[in-house]
Each structure stands twice: as C-alpha cells, then as structure tokens.
Structure 1
Amino acid sequence: MTGPLHGIRVIDLTAMVSGPMATMMLADQGAEVIKVENPAGGDFTRLAANRQGGFAASYLNNNRNKRSVALNLKDPEGKNALLKLIAGADVFVQNFRPGVIERMGFDEDAVRKVAPDIVYVSISGFGENGPYADRPVYDPLIQGLSGLASVQAGSDQHRPQLVRTILPDKLTGVTAAQAITAALFARERTGAAQHVRLSMLDAVIAFLWGSDMGSQTFVQHELPQQAAASFQDLIYETTNGYITVAVQNDREWRALLKALDKPEWADDPRFLTAELRQRNIDARLELTQSVLRTDTSEFWLEQLQAENVPSAPVLNRHQMISHPQVAATGIIREYDHPQAGRLRQARAAARFSGAELPPPAGAPALGADTFAVLRACGYDDATLADLAERGVLGIPLGNPKENLE
C-alpha cells in the first residue's frame, strides 16, 4: 500500500539536519523526495564521522527514502535542469541563509514562473529579518539565544546548560514537516499556493512557551528571575543503576508511600497537600532518594509497579535498543544498505492504518539518481553524457557511459 503523501513530489535543496529531517519525514510518508546536491561533495553531513562503506551515520539517518540528483547550480545548464525538476513538483524546500537562494536565482518569483502552485518553503536559523538574520547559525547558538540553555540550567541564577542533543535542529525539522503538510492540505481545499517560512529560533521559542515561559506570560506582571522549583531532577540512584519516578496527584503520592513503606510521610506537615509538596519539593525528593538508594533498580521498579506508581528504568542508548517495551513498539528496524551494510534506524514515529509502508530505501549515494530523474524530464542519453563530462551533473560511480546503460 502507498503512504498518505504518495504522489507528492518534493524538491529538496536542504542540507545538514533541520531541512533533511523535515523532507525525510515526508519521504517516510510516501512523498517522492529529490535531494538536489552540489556534485563537489554534496550535503556536508556526508563527510561526518562514524562512517561505513563511504556513508556517514548522520547522513544515513536524515536522508532515507530519497533520491539524489547532483547538479552544478552555478552553471546555467544546471540551473535549467533544476527548473525542469521544479516544474513537475509540489513542494520546494531550501534552508540557505536569507539572501542566498535569491542570489542563486531560485527565489519564490523565479520558482513560481515554472510551478505557480508549488508550496515554497524557506527554513532559516535566526529568521529573515533582524540584526542576526544573515549570521551563520548552529544549534548551540539557538539554544543560547532562545532561552533554552537557561531553562536547562533550572534557574536564571545557575550557569546555562546546553541540551545534549541538537533539539533546535530536529524540532525545526518536525515543525517544517507539519507546516508543509498543512500547506498542501490548504492548497487541496482552496487552490492557493503558500510560502511557508520558519526559523530555528521561532520553532524553539514557540516550543518553550507551552511549559517553560509561565514567568513571562502575564504582561506587566512578569517575574524578572526564574527560580528553580527544585535543584534536583527526578532521576534516582539505586544500588545498581538509576530509575525515574514521577508522582503528580494525591493518589500517586499515597501509592508511592506504600511502595516505599513510608506511611509516616502521609502525616508530615510539609507534604499534606499537593501545594505543600511542591513548596517543599527538595525535602520530598531527598527523602525519596534516601529510600531508593537502599536497593536495586529491579526491586524498586517491581515495588512501584505493584502500587501503580509512574516509574521507569533510566537506560543508556545500548540498553534502550534491547528493552522489551521498545521492541514491542517496533520503532527500531534493521535493513540492508547496498553500500553501508546492515543498518539499524528508528522508523517514522507516526503510523497510518491505511498504509503499511515497504522497507525503507537507504539514503542515496551522491548523484545516484541524476540520470534516471533527468531522463524523466526529457533529457536524452547523449545530452546527459555531455553534461556529465562537462561537470554540470555529478556521477556517483564509474563514468557517464556506465551510468547511462
């Protein structure tokens, strides 16, 4: 069966993580994604560390189910080839710094001349306006400017900390994919073609507001400093590892006391109500930790589960892969890549009842689909061979004649 986006063609000029992750999500849902790359190296993540068979893990994990077309877009014939690809597409996505795509000759007006109803997508770092608009950007810069590093510290008085994953990049990718499908839906209903604009900075600030910006929500009643609710987290040490336990209401609090065999805490004046337990959170967490430190993770998880206390083990990456709950979800899959060998990846998180998707196609070699895709645009073999010899097209392996067979 086909995916929900079957029949949608996406021209993908993005690189690194935010854009490629967005377009991979579309590809996982059935869209045909044509990744257009510079023949001289392609997406920078192709050169990242942790490589096998000439493929970097970072590139493989953000570019599956795509086709690669290598075009020299500084050459007029390369630009013309891209315009022919765009003419038959539904979505055009780029994540260059503001102003770059215009200098390349593929601004919205130029693209709409050949594809009037295309969904045009611009992903930026800091946004298209403002003093930082044309600055280079990487994930840590967004974590700093957005306030995320301060949130991660726990309070404004503590040294800011980075989240140990490139959350802004990946969150922007997820946000972009959702926005693209919304724009496609709007086009289906109204016929109107949208220009979707988003930045990494906007994506993170919008993300934070739902749970971390309460102190700045009430206008003229802002709290100048965000104090930490607690300087402890909800990770508890046991005799042989770590677990996490979270209780939110009175029922769960009473269940925790039973699991820990500490009924006397129910009469402690510091913990009589949810408000008091939050006000005295450090004392409450310290007492919980003092008990959990006395036995193994396995013992406490069994005790907690018996009383229906929300709890789970804290796993490292290797342990997570083999955990029975993770295995039961089927989220992690293995398949063979023709060059990189046996791969393990997470499938797309969302599943659709009407579409049992086939095994994934591994991320393509640079320019692997150039000739096949351009043939479909009307190029004959002689022209393709000539363009390849002149460096307008990239050749993944061998020579033009071999790729034209």
Structure 2
Amino acid sequence: MTERSSRPLAGVRIVDLTSIVLGPLATLTLAGLGAEVIKVEATEGDNVRQAGSSLHDDMGHVFLHGNRGKQSVVLNLKKAAAREALLRLLADADVFLCNVRPAAMKRLGLGPEALQRVNPRLIHVTACGYGSRGPLADKPAYDDLIQGAIGIPALMQEYTGGAPGYVPLSLVDRVAGLHAVYAITTALYARERSGEGQSVEVPMFECAAHFVLADHLAGATFEPPLGPSGYDRLLSTNRRPYRTADGYLSVLIYNDKHWRAFFQAIGEPEMFERDSRFSNQRNRSLNIHEVYGFVASVMTSRTTSEWRSLLDEIDIPNQVPATLEQLIEDPQLRASGLIGEEHHPTEGRLRSLGSPTYWNDTPSPALSSAPHLGAHTRNVLMRLGYTVDELQTMATDGAISFIADGKAS
C-alpha cells in the first residue's frame, strides 16, 4: 500500500470552485487527508493570491498557506467551452465545493439540478453567506460583514468598554470552513450507504451565529428569559491575562480543588469557606467579575516566574501569553509537526503549516506547494480527453489559460 492510498480520503476527487479563505481551508484540510483537489480559478485568479506578504504578486502568504496540495485550473465560466470543460471535470468527481452565489451558477447552467444530471453521485456543496431558506439568501457576505451580523463588534465593545471591533482573525471564514469539512466527509459516508449524491449548504451566517449563541444565549435560553443574553464569565473585563510584578500570566483557577489550593498558597486558607463568592462553582459564576478581580489584585504581588513555580506546584493551569513571534518558534508546534518547512519552486524556503491532527495508522500528509495560476490546466484537461489543438483554441478564445514555458497562455 502506498503512502497516498493509505490516507483516509484516498481516491476522492474534489473540484474546488472557491476563493478567499472558507473554501480553500476546507479543501486544504481534505487534501491533507488524501483527497485529490482540483482548484478551478477565474482568469484573474483567487483574490487572496494578492493578499499579505509576498515575493511575487500572485503568491501572497494567505494563498500559500491555504492552497497547498491542490492543482490550479483556469476556466473562464463566461465562455461556453469553459462551462463544458467544468461539466466534464465534474462527471468523474466526487465532490463539488462552490462559493459562487447559487443564482449566478443557475444562470450559467451550472445549478444543482444540471450537475446531478451529469453525475448523480456528485456531492454538491455550496458555501454561501446566508442559508437559502431565509430572506437574506442572495445577499453577498464576507468575514467582516458576518462578524458584524453575529454581534462580534458589540461583544468586543461590551468586553473592552471601547469602540466596536472585529476579532483580528478570519474567524467566520475558518469556522464555516471547518463546518464544510465535516459536511463533505459526512455526505461521502452517506453516499457509501445510499449510493446517491446530494446537495449541502454551508452558510457562513448560520455557522458563525451558532458559534456565538452557544456561549452567549445565557438567560435568553429560557422562555420566559431568566435574564439577558451574554455569558458573564466571557464578558468580564477582568477575564484577561493577569498583570504580575514583571509581566503577564494567563491563569485559570477553575474548580473547588484549585480554589482551596490557591487560597492555601497565598496564606488565606479560610477564605474559601468564609467568603461565599468563592465557596462553590455556582456562586463563583454569579460573582465572576469580582472573583476575577480578586485574583487580579493578588497576582501583582509576585513575578511571573514566581507565580509559575507556585501554580505548577499546586497544579493550577497557567500559561505565559505568547507573541506571534514566540508562537512561530513554539517547541510544541515544532515537535508536533504543525510548523515545518518546505521549498517552493518559485518562492524558495517557506515555513509551512501541517495538520493539527495526528493519525497513528496513517502517514502525515506531504502536500505539494501552492500552485501558480493555471499551473495544471493543460494536464487536467488533457486527462479529460482534450487535445493540444483544442486547448490552444480555447486559450485563444479566452475560455482557459495555462502556463507554458513559465508564462500564462
């Protein structure tokens, strides 16, 4: 058995008509599990090719990290010949992941019904902004917009006491991208049982709203409400790395055992019983702002190193907050293989991001480097039966483009 064939998704072919972060994260994850991923790009390429740090205009760092292990095929779907090529590609595919709005795909003759006629076993996954059953179904969406729609800026304002703000991550794209991964793998499993493909929606708004509301429904969980929405523990302004005598330390004194040990260590063993705010989990939850505030007032009495030694000794979880530079060099991430190195054919020596999961009976993924735009158009289409002359005609008409002698054709 070869390394490739022993991976969980060996033999699964995915046609990926997505861009930015959500879809590419999903197919990157699936490529790491052994799937073949053919990335279909417009003539101008994935927008994120231009994003972030880069040596060359079409190979920004966000694209490099999100598109390893994929083949790049350029199809201009405004052209009939390109649409026909996509249909031929999908006829032998297992999964089609698309983030073009459904109405636009239907106008191109590429809606779910048309694709099912071409391949009844195809799993058609639409990564959209909003679910089709709601009034916002046709509305465009990006990470910042959905962060606003799910209340992130309002939560940040309540937490910091300042202006509304976004989380400094592509949070919604990455949450929804992981929803797409389990949707695809589950649909593949269902097809093994039924023999039939199906259509699946992965809407950014609903995925991210679930993420927020699972924490913050709070009193609004109940009918009638027991109180307002918003989880007090997560919104307490005292929930932050604690200032020590010489720095900061993240500490979580969580259960009764932890609290008894903490009070003993700071020389106030009777406080657990004496102060009802600390005496059990329920009371601590009801008084969480004051509880965190008390810890904050104590933490300034010792250095970070002194606190770490003491807290480790009494088995209370703690962690020195890392900078991005420290995270990149973290020995745990190096040892686990999450951070490694690769040599890209044109971009040179790069830090690479591996899989965060480890399978004891499956080789770790060895993904190819992120491709240049159209690097695989010729080879993929020739496997579908296109001749060199046909490809040149399509390229001349603007239906496709491919790399020839280091240049796009």
Normalising by the residue count of structure 1, what TM-score does the alignment of the two structures yield? 0.92
Q: Secondary structure at the match of 1:99?
A: helix
Instruction: Summarize deviations over 1:324-351 as a string: whole Å, max 9, x none.
Output: 3333322211111111222213212222
Match of 1:276 among 261, 278, 283: 283
Q: Could you tell me which residue of structure 2 aligns to residue 108 of structure 1?
A: 112
Q: Secondary structure at the match of 1:335?
A: strand
Q: 1:137 to 1:183 in 2, by over 3 A?
A: same
**Residues of 2 paired with 1:51 and 1:355: CA distance?**
33
Contact in 2 for aligned 1:139/1:169 (Cα 8 Å)? yes
Match of 2:140 among 136, 139, 157: 136
Match of 2:13 among 9, 12, 16: 9
Using the TM superposition, give the Cα deviation of residue 111 of structure 1 relative to its aligned residue in structure 2, in angstroms.
Answer: 1.0
**Residues of 2 paired with 1:224 and 1:286: CA distance?**
22
**Residues of 1 paired with 2:52 and 2:159: CA distance?**
35
Which segments of 5 or more consecutive residues in structure 2 lack a partner in the other structure?
Answer: none
Instruction: Tell whether 2:261 aligns with 1:255.
Output: yes
Q: Could you tell me which residue of structure 1 aligns to residue 343 of structure 2?
A: 336
Q: 1:267 to 1:109 in 2, by over 3 A?
A: closer
What are the equivalent positions in structure 2 for 1:1-40 lying under 5 Å apart?
1-2=3-4, 3-39=7-43
Q: Could you tell me which residue of structure 1 aligns to residue 202 of structure 2?
A: 198
Q: Could you tell me which residue of structure 2 aligns to residue 219 of structure 1?
A: 223
Q: Could you tell me which residue of structure 1 aligns to residue 180 of structure 2?
A: 176
**Residues of 2 paired with 1:324 and 1:261: CA distance?**
35
* Residue identity in the other structure for 1:50: S
Bigger mean CA offset, 24-33 vs 126-135: 126-135
Using the TM superposition, give the Cα deviation of residue 358 of structure 1 relative to its aligned residue in structure 2, in angstroms.
Answer: 4.5
Match of 1:64 among 62, 68, 80: 68
**Residues of 2 paired with 1:373 and 1:188: CA distance?**
26
**Residues of 2 paired with 1:225 and 1:204: CA distance?**
17
* Residue identity in the other structure for 1:281: I
**Residues of 2 paired with 1:317 and 1:399: CA distance?**
36
Q: Could you tell me which residue of structure 1 aligns to residue 364 of structure 2?
A: 357
What are the equivalent positions in structure 2 for 1:317-328 lying under 5 Å apart?
317-328=324-335
**Residues of 2 paired with 1:16 and 1:373: CA distance?**
23
Contact in 2 for aligned 1:154/1:228 (Cα 8 Å)? no
Match of 2:271 among 265, 269, 272: 265
Q: Could you tell me which residue of structure 2 aligns to residue 236 of structure 1?
A: 242
Contact in 2 for aligned 1:10/1:32 (Cα 8 Å)? yes
Using the TM superposition, give the Cα deviation of residue 90 of structure 1 relative to its aligned residue in structure 2, in angstroms.
Answer: 0.3
Contact in 1 for aligned 2:216/2:230 (Cα 8 Å)? no
**Residues of 1 paired with 2:273 and 2:385: CA distance?**
80
Contact in 1 for aligned 2:124/2:200 (Cα 8 Å)? yes
**Residues of 2 paired with 1:258 and 1:346: CA distance?**
43
Q: Could you tell me which residue of structure 1 aligns to residue 388 of structure 2?
A: 381
* Residue identity in the other structure for 2:45: G
**Residues of 2 paired with 1:286 and 1:163: CA distance?**
24
Using the TM superposition, give the Cα deviation of residue 125 of structure 1 relative to its aligned residue in structure 2, in angstroms.
Answer: 0.7
Q: Could you tell me which residue of structure 2 aligns to residue 162 of structure 1?
A: 166
Q: Could you tell me which residue of structure 2 aligns to residue 80 of structure 1?
A: 84
**Residues of 2 paired with 1:200 and 1:278: CA distance?**
31
Contact in 2 for aligned 1:6/1:31 (Cα 8 Å)? yes
Aligned residues: 401
Sequence identity (%): 36
Match of 2:50 among 47, 50, 57: 47
Normalising by the residue count of structure 2, what TM-score does the alignment of the two structures yield? 0.91
Contact in 1 for aligned 2:218/2:230 (Cα 8 Å)? no
Contact in 1 for aligned 2:122/2:197 (Cα 8 Å)? yes
**Residues of 2 paired with 1:379 and 1:329: CA distance?**
43
